[in-house]
Structure 1
Amino acid sequence: MVEQRRRFSPQFKAEAVQMVIETGKPIADVARDLGVNHGTLGNWMKAWRHANPEPDPALSPVERARVSEMEAEIRRLRMENEFLKKAGGLLRQDAPVAERCAVIEVEKADYDVAWMCRLLRVPRSSFYAWRNRAETAGQARRRQLATEVGRVFGVGRGAYGCRRVTAQLNREGHECSVGLVADLMRELGLAAVQPRAYKRTTVRGQTPVDSPDLIARDFTTDGVPGQRLVGDMPPQTGGAPSYLRTGEGWLYLATVIDLATRMVVGWQMAEHMRTSLVVDALAMARDGGHVLAGAVFHSDRGAQYTSAEFHQYCQRIGVRTSIGRTGVCWDNAVAESFFSALKNEIFHHHRFTTRARARFAVADYIEVFYNRRRLHSSLGYRTPHEALNDHRTAAAAA
């Protein structure tokens, strides 16, 4: 079976370019995070730079020297910030010297020992005395595992509880139990972010186009990706639209999720809640090759999904619409679960002054974290991207 060439929507390309610009990471690193070829991302960057040329001011020798000093200072501060961020995920605020020494021991291959001792306020003599002390095999394993627990918790952006941390450690070859990991997380003061309660109210259109419920709460699938999809967009609570709050006003997100892989295969953001938002999200999934002919798309009875415009678009691309009951969130549980995770793991813990910053955070969460790093219990603690690759490998071997 010949693998279908990936296609990328303009939205995806723009967000990928924005990630390179905002993070300052090398193109190869961002390409790896997004699962695209680095040459492809490089071409997108060249096209953007060609369309947005920057002036090349002439600098005097004094100004060049000053710029070099500033760049050196920025590199130093970045390195300190990187190290302190790692240490912050492993250490409590009042961590004893032994725990700080353990962090230095783990990171000594990447950073200078004297430099780390200065940042963590540990005398070098104390570190070497701690390093040479007698330690039992059990204590050494527990110490090393605690470091790995802190690392995985940090990679999981604070969203992983003890079960997901345990699953990730076992995937990496660190055999451990949920109980041991729970104890270590408690000792390290690590706790996964907790969801907030919210009220869900679906608003129907005045003349809705009705569709049968083709999912019937069966969100499992043994089929290939692209056959069964679910979608959702911001709820309306108390009669007024409310979703992603920013300093410039509301921002709304529509998604398309593949039930076979739990991957967010289509998404769009806008300042409005018009039907075009959900049409654009489904179009992104179709343009990316994630929607097969005759696929089922399931949603709630929101006005956008029951509109004639959306129904006509689905008919045009050969997609069958499926709609759950009004006000019953369990009929669209997978989509609801994604929005709960998004709010719990990002928006309840950050403030965004502009819509642009919120867009960047959502793009990073979906494309880098949720689709490619976050372990899903419904997938046997695999990532959606791994599930998609497994399907493709099995299809190629058949």
Structure 2
Amino acid sequence: MKRERKIYDPAFKTKAVQLSNERDNISELARELGLKVSLLYKWRKEYEEFGESSFPGKGNLKLTPEQEKIHELEKKLKDAELERDILKKGNRHFFQERSMKYRFIKNHEYLFPIEKMCSALEVGSSGYYKWKSKPICKRTLLKNEIKQQIASIYFASKQRYGSPRIAIELNASGYKVSRITVAKYMRELGLRSKLSKKFKVTTDSKHNCLVVENILERNFIVAHPSKVWVSDITYIQTKEGFLYLTTIIDLYDRKIIGWSLSHGMNTEETTLAAWKMAVRNRSFQKGLIFHSDRGVQYANKKFANTIESYKVIRSMSRKGNCWDNAVAESFFKSLKAELIYGSKLITKQEMELEIFEYIEIWYNKKRRHGALNYKTIEEFNNQKNICKNVA
């Protein structure tokens, strides 16, 4: 059977290239996105040559010499900004404990001068050389190694993980350590996971469109894929105004199978765009339940007619009851706690890239989900496939 060729839209290509410019390991990023490395480099080359005019499809026009000169200047500016950001990355390793500062210096001797690092971390170079030459017992070495792993996992998760998930990651890597010990070491390192804020209602249900009953009835545990999809819309604040994120989640494995990030709230930009992505990414049979709130983007004729043409069964939350769509609300809570709250406002373009990375790489592929017994979505599906094959 011939394998169907996957088609990527221009927005996906652009975000993938922009993300690759912020990563050191292009091969790893390509693997995370499910791409061939050669394809990602091809996109990068086109983007370097044509910039925002890249990926228009057939009939695209080449840039004028003036545009190419502007693009070259923009590229040099971006290279300078990237160099600055690399120097800033060391800040996350500046721990409270002196021994951890020494360990950071030792691990980066090949990259930076020792005297410079000692000065930046406010430790004496003589103290560092004394620490380096002093023999360390096995227990202390193991403790330091675990602390280093904790810090690595913590910052790899962009400060989103607390002690429970970090303990699971450590045990999966072969370290036998309890959650209590991880919590203790995190306190010693001054590390805390990001905290969420209280729920705020944003749904506009004041309309005359047709609504349907809640047939899902908060039954969020599903045994098979593409039996129940849930959807919701939230706002994302930037320093240039709001963006609106629409998501569609398969309750089976909690994967974001469709999403749209828009500047407006019309149906084409929000629910229909997310639906089109969902049906491209995951097949389903007649009888799929689609659950949402009563917002006008879900209740209007344009959206209703579209999904009813797929023989989908509609379900809607009761008015003003966020718990009827708790899984969708929980995703937005995690997104804002782990990505947005506590961070400075950024531009819409920067936020679009942050959301792309969060959903496509972090949430769908790397994050451990409590609803999946703290497995990643890929681990959960692989386990299910093994069970099916054994049966």
TM-score category of the 2 structures, normalised to the smaller one: 0.7 to 0.9
Tell me the distance in 1 between the aligned counterparts of 2:213 and 2:5: 33
2:288 to 289, 292, 295: 295
Tell me the distance in 1 between the aligned counterparts of 2:167 and 2:232: 31
Tell me the distance in 2 between the aligned counterparts of 1:348 and 1:290: 35
2:88 to 81, 93, 96: 81
1:113 Cα deviation from its structure 2 partner: 5.5
The one-letter code matched in structure 2 to 1:232 is D
Alignment CA distance shift 1:166-1:353 (3 Å) = closer
8 Å CA contact 1:285, 1:291 repeated in 2: no
1:77 Cα deviation from its structure 2 partner: 5.0
Alignment CA distance shift 1:324-1:77 (3 Å) = closer
Give the corresponding residue for 1:314: 307
Give the corresponding residue for 2:58: none
Q: Which runs of 5+ in 2 are unaligned?
A: 55-61, 70-75
The one-letter code matched in structure 2 to 1:161 is G
Aligned residues between the structures: 372
Tell me the distance in 2 between the aligned counterparts of 1:392 and 1:315: 31
Give the corresponding residue for 2:230: 230
The one-letter code matched in structure 2 to 1:144 is E
Q: Which runs of 5+ in 1 are unaligned?
A: 58-66, 235-242
1:368 counterpart = 2:361: yes
8 Å CA contact 2:247, 2:260 repeated in 1: yes
Counting only pairs closer than 5 Å after superposition, residues 1-398 of structure 1 correspond to structure 2 as: 6-20=6-20, 23=22, 27-45=26-44, 48=47, 49=49, 51-52=53-54, 55=65, 77=84, 79-82=86-89, 84-88=90-94, 91-92=95-96, 95-96=97-98, 98-107=99-108, 116-117=117-118, 119-200=120-201, 202-223=203-224, 225-234=225-234, 243-276=235-268, 277-289=270-282, 291-391=284-384
8 Å CA contact 1:9, 1:287 repeated in 2: no
1:166 Cα deviation from its structure 2 partner: 0.6
Tell me the distance in 1 between the aligned counterparts of 2:383 and 2:39: 24
Tell me the distance in 2 between the aligned counterparts of 1:109 and 1:33: 28
Percent identical pairs in the alignment equals: 29
1:290 Cα deviation from its structure 2 partner: 5.0
TM-score by length of structure 1 reads 0.81
**What are the Cα deviations for residues 24-61 of structure 1, in whole angstroms up to 9, with x where unaligned?**
6564343233232223334444565465456566xxxx
Alignment CA distance shift 1:172-1:186 (3 Å) = same
Structure number with greater CO (CA < 8 Å, separation at least 6) is 1
1:124 Cα deviation from its structure 2 partner: 4.4
8 Å CA contact 1:149, 1:165 repeated in 2: yes
Secondary structure, counterpart of 1:304 in structure 2: helix
Give the alignment's Cα RMSD to 1 decimal: 3.3
**What are the Cα deviations for residues 117-151 of structure 1, in whole angstroms up to 9, with x where unaligned?**
45435444432321333433332222211111111
Tell me the distance in 1 between the aligned counterparts of 2:303 and 2:315: 12
1:275 Cα deviation from its structure 2 partner: 1.9
Tell me the distance in 2 between the aligned counterparts of 1:365 and 1:354: 16
8 Å CA contact 1:263, 1:371 repeated in 2: yes
